[in-house]
Homo-oligomer: A and B are copies of this chain.
C-alpha cells in the first residue's frame, strides 16, 4: 500500500492518547501521572511535552476523541426519519454499542461531568469537548421532545427522560465491578450487552411509547 502512510499522525501521538485514555479512565485526571503515561508508551516523560503542551491538553484531547467516537455512533439514530418509537430504539442500540465498544468510554464520559474542577483549577475554561457533548445531549432531547409533541410518546419531561437514558446507559457501562456483581456476569460480554439493549427497549416501549393499537 503506497499511499497508506500519507498522514503519519506522528504515531507516538496516537500511542500516547491510547495509553492516557486507559489510565485516565481507570484513575481520573489527578490520579494519573505523566511518568506513568510515558512509561506505558515507552517514551521519556519529557517527550510527552513535545506532543502535548500540558497534561490538561492531553486529557482534553483524550476526552474529545472519546466523545467524537460516541457521537459518530449515535448520529444515524439521531438523524433518522423513522417513526419516533423506532428512532428511540435505534438510539438505545447505538448508545449501548458505542459504550460497549471501548470500556473506557463510559467512565471517561461520566468523569468528565464532575471532574472539571479537578481538570481545570481556574474557573475560566471553554472546554473543547463540551461542544460535542452538547450536540449529543441536544440530539437526545430533541428526539424525546418531538416524540412527545407528535403524540408518539407519553407526555414525559424531555429533560428527565434524557437524564434517565444517560444514567441507564453511561452509568451502567461505567459500573464495572459493581455492575458485574449485580448482573452476575461481565457487563461487557456480548450476552449482557445484548441483554442490556433488550431490557432498556422493553422498559421504554411499555413505559414511554404510546401504544397505537
Chain A positions within 8 Å of B, measured between CB atoms, are: 26-31, 107, 110, 113-118, 133, 137, 141, 154, 156-157, 159-164, 166-172, 174-179, 181-184, 195-196, 199-200, 202-204, 206-208
Q: Is the CB of B110 within 8 A of A28?
A: no
Cα–Cα distance between A208 and B206 once the two chains are bound (Å):
8
Cα–Cα distance between A169 and B50 once the two chains are bound (Å):
43
- Closest partner residue, chain B, to A32 (CB atom): B30
Contact among B164, B169, B175, B183 for A199, CB-based, below 8 A:
B164
Q: Is the CB of B114 within 8 A of A107?
A: yes
Q: Is the CB of B156 within 8 A of A163?
A: no
Contact among B27, B184, B200 for A115, CB-based, below 8 A:
B27
Extra inter-chain contacts (8) besides given A162-B182, A164-B200, CB under 8 Å: A27-B30, A110-B114, A110-B171, A141-B182, A159-B184, A163-B172, A167-B170, A207-B208
Contact among B117, B168, B175 for A113, CB-based, below 8 A:
B175
Q: Is the CB of A28 within 8 A of B118?
A: yes
- Closest Cβ of chain B to A120, distance in Å, is 11
- Closest Cβ of chain B to A113, distance in Å, is 5
Q: Find chain B residues with CB under 8 A from A199 CB.
A: 156-157, 160-161, 164
Cα–Cα distance between A112 and B186 once the two chains are bound (Å):
19
Cα–Cα distance between A200 and B137 once the two chains are bound (Å):
20
Q: Is the CB of B163 within 8 A of A183?
A: yes
- Closest partner residue, chain B, to A180 (CB atom): B159
Contact among B107, B116, B156 for A202, CB-based, below 8 A:
B156
Q: Is the CB of B178 within 8 A of A172?
A: no
Q: Find chain B residues with CB under 8 A from A154 CB.
A: 202, 206
Contact among B26, B115, B160, B163 for A171, CB-based, below 8 A:
B163
Cα–Cα distance between A34 and B200 once the two chains are bound (Å):
43
